[in-house]
Structure 1
Amino acid sequence: MSTTTGISRERLEQALQHSTFAQLLGAELLDFAPGKVSLQVRSRPDLCQHHGYMHGAVVGFMVDSGCAWAAASMVGDVVTSEYKLNLLAPALGERLICRSEVLKAGQRQAVCRADVFAVKDGAEKLIATGLATIARV
């Protein structure tokens, strides 16, 4: 994968503006570097499940997107081939932050990891971790 140039932060921001689902969730790009991306989603009642925690589907979106965006920052256009999500604790807080990084990039795919933290009263708590295989398009 090292022969392809990754996308820029500006291009990723443009893609975010055209992603209806990311817009629906209010996803925001926080940090961007080759092979590393951080994003956040702020808590809202319509993103929570019946116990008041942010829904697991929001956490899954963050792992999926964070890993794909981290890979794209290195290799260009990508799609998620698969991901595994471990929910470790309820997603309770004002916002969720996902920190993703590329572990290994090959010719056709990259393996990435992501950790999701709930932020409550300024303190972060690890609530999920994921591993994804991202394929070059």
Structure 2
Amino acid sequence: MPELDLEMACKVLESQPFSRLLQARITAFGDGKAVLEIGIREELHQQNGFLHGGVLAYAADNALTFAAGTALGSAVLTSGFTIQYVRPATGRSLVARAEVVHGGRRQAVVRCDLFTVKEDGAEALCAVAQGTVLSAQPS
């Protein structure tokens, strides 16, 4: 199995066509944690000018899965997750910070807090997600 580090995580993310479309990037990876960032662009907005909820859900799902991968290994799949939208997302970028809150041999429960970053660098919580990620390694 290849070493799981930030460089490998970036390569995995880059191999996902949808992640390339969103121009997502992994900025931290390891020790049960992962951070995914996306620049907020007009084409990612919904009709009211806010970042589309689907973009937030994508960011939560991928951050949850990458964080779980630090505990379970590189072959993981999201079993399910919930997301609660706290406030409309506006700003220059989206940051999804995920952390394993409980890990076993075959699954991990992971929490993700999603923030928008304003022009002045201030962060605002816009959503909270929690999910279960399963190891896809053969038993």
Q: TM-score range by the shorter chain?
A: over 0.9
Is the 2:72–2:106 Cα contact (8 Å) retained in structure 1? no
Q: Work out the CA distance in 1 between the residues paired with 2:134 and 2:12.
A: 18
Residue identity opposite 1:126 in structure 2: L
Which consecutive residues of structure 1, in runs of 5 or more, have no partner in the other structure? Answer: none
TM-score by length of 1: 0.93
Q: Does 1:20 align with 2:17?
A: yes
Matched with 2:103 is 105
Within 5 A, what are the aligned runs for 1:1-137? 7-76=4-73, 77-121=75-119, 122-137=121-136
> Over residues 100-137 of structure 1, what are the superposed CA-to-partner deviations in whole Å (9 max), with x where a residue is unaligned?
00001112210000000011121100000000000000
CA RMSD of aligned residues (A): 1.5
Instruction: Out of 126-135 and 11-20, give the one that drifted further.
Output: 11-20
Following superposition, the deviation at residue 9 of structure 1 comes to 1.7
Q: Work out the CA distance in 1 between the residues paired with 2:23 and 2:130.
A: 23
What is the aligned-residue identity percentage?
35
Following superposition, the deviation at residue 5 of structure 1 comes to 9.2
Query: How many equivalent pairs are there?
Result: 134
Q: Work out the CA distance in 1 between the residues paired with 2:91 and 2:104.
A: 37
Over 3 Å counting, the alpha-carbon distance change for 1:5 and 1:107 in structure 2 is farther
Residue identity opposite 2:7 in structure 1: E
Is the 1:67–1:112 Cα contact (8 Å) retained in structure 2? yes
Runs of 4+ in structure 1 displaced over 4 angstroms?
Answer: none
Which consecutive residues of structure 2, in runs of 5 or more, have no partner in the other structure? Answer: none
Is the 2:81–2:132 Cα contact (8 Å) retained in structure 1? yes
